[in-house]
Amino acid sequence: MNNIPKTLKYSRTHEWVRQDDEILTVGITDHAQCMLGDLVYVELPEPESSIEMGQECGVVESVKAAADIYSPVSGEIIEINEALLDSPQLVNEDPYGKGWLFRLRPFENKVAGLLTADQYSKQIASEAH
């Protein structure tokens, strides 16, 4: 079974979001990295760029497939995980830790429209059938 931490919020497109004060950290879920297999290339958004919720803002590519990253919230990119450019496998090894993708400052204080761990868990269970 894939790891789905209760403390995080999730998007339907398999990103996770961690809130620390007014800063959000975004990555892809354990389920997503498992489905993709070994990642070999990651493209991240430009720092200081503004992105809208649901907007394509990066790519993760495994040997077998490429998947777009969609921003789970609207905001300004304040930091990207540059370690991934040389070591994309960090996403496989530690998707909720060292494999984070980017940090952003949301335009609105209240982050809406994301799934709880239970809701996300139900979603991937339904996708499997």
Interface positions with another protein (CB under 8 A) = 37-38, 40-41, 59, 61, 63-64, 66, 85, 89, 92
Task: Provide the minimum distance between the beta carbon of 65 and another protein in the complex, in angstroms, as a whole number.
Answer: 9
Query: Which lies closer to another protein via its Cβ, residue 75 or residue 88?
Result: 88
Query: Which lies closer to another protein via its Cβ, residue 23 or residue 124?
Result: 124
Query: Which lies closer to another protein via its Cβ, residue 24 or residue 101?
Result: 101
Query: Which lies closer to another protein via its Cβ, residue 24 or residue 67?
Result: 67
Q: Are 27 and 98 in contact (CB under 8 A)?
A: no
Task: Provide the minimum distance between the beta carbon of 32 and another protein in the complex, in angstroms, as a whole number.
Answer: 15
Burial class (CB in 10 A: 0-12, 13-18, 19+), 9: buried
